[in-house]
Amino acid sequence: MPRLTRLTPDTAVGASRDLLAELASRHHGRLGDMVSTMAHSPAVLGGYLQLSRAMGRAKLDRRTSERISIAIQAHQGCGLCLEAHVSAARALGVDEDEIERARQGTSADPATAAIVALALQVHREPTSITDEQVGALREYGFSDRAIADVVGVVALNVLTGAFNLLAGLTPGSDGSDAGA
């Protein structure tokens, strides 16, 4: 059961009202549980929206990004986010074996396994990242920009997962999706 109430453009105030109204207009009046609940804090909602938009311009391939998201959410424990990222990975053509590997924090592809492992280290223990690891990622063909983007993907997943867990949002909690 949700711990925080959902807001609408009619029940939100100030900046949150404006943000929700803009989202509702872009999404045919439909607002997901997470953004509706995030509206209690215009700082959190605005930060989420800005980071989400920025990560849409990331250099990482979307299939790789979704596998990173699955690994982070499997570790973090947000069922709502995990469900959303598994669905997105399937829509992008990631097969079930790779989705399961992503849940375990790896991949059959060595390059993808290496970047997913880096993401989990960024999440769990960033001080353990080595020069050799970053060099190996470059040898697999990842640019410095793509490697840096891993931090953004992890940060976005920590934000959304932690928020959903705090707010008590779970899959099917009221029939809406997680995002906007």
> Which residues does 99 contact at the CB level (< 8 Å), separation at least 6?
67, 70, 86, 89, 90
Q: pTM, whole model, 2 decimals?
A: 0.92
User: What residue type is 38 in one-letter code?
Assistant: M
pLDDT of residue 176: 44
| pLDDT (0 to 100) of residue 1 | 86
The CATH superfamily holding the domain 62-167 is AhpD-like (1.20.1290.10)
Please tell me the predicted confidence (pLDDT) of residue 178: 46
**Dihedral, CA of residue 88, residue 94, residue 97 and residue 102, to nearest 10:** -60
What is the C-alpha end-to-end distance of the chain, expressed in Å?
20
142, exposed or middle or buried, with CB in 10 Å at 0-12, 13-18, 19+?
Answer: buried
**In the chain, where the domains are located:** 62-167
So what's the pLDDT on residue 75?
97
Q: 15: buried, middle or exposed (CB in 10 Å: 19+, 13-18, 0-12)?
A: middle
Give residue 173's pLDDT.
Answer: 64
Residue 46 tokens read as 């605005």
Q: How far is CA 160 from CA 23, 30, 66, 77, 129, in A?
A: 17, 19, 14, 11, 24
Which residue in this structure is represented by tokens 């997913």? 116
Whether the CB-CB separation of 159 and 47 falls below 8 Å is answered with yes
Q: Which two tokens stand for residue 121?
A: 């280290």
* pLDDT one digit per residue (tens) for the chain, 180 residues: 899 999 999 999 999 999 999 999 998 888 999 999 999 999 999 999 999 999 999 999 999 999 999 999 999 999 999 999 999 999 999 999 999 999 999 999 999 999 999 999 999 999 999 999 999 999 999 999 999 999 999 999 999 999 999 999 998 765 444 454
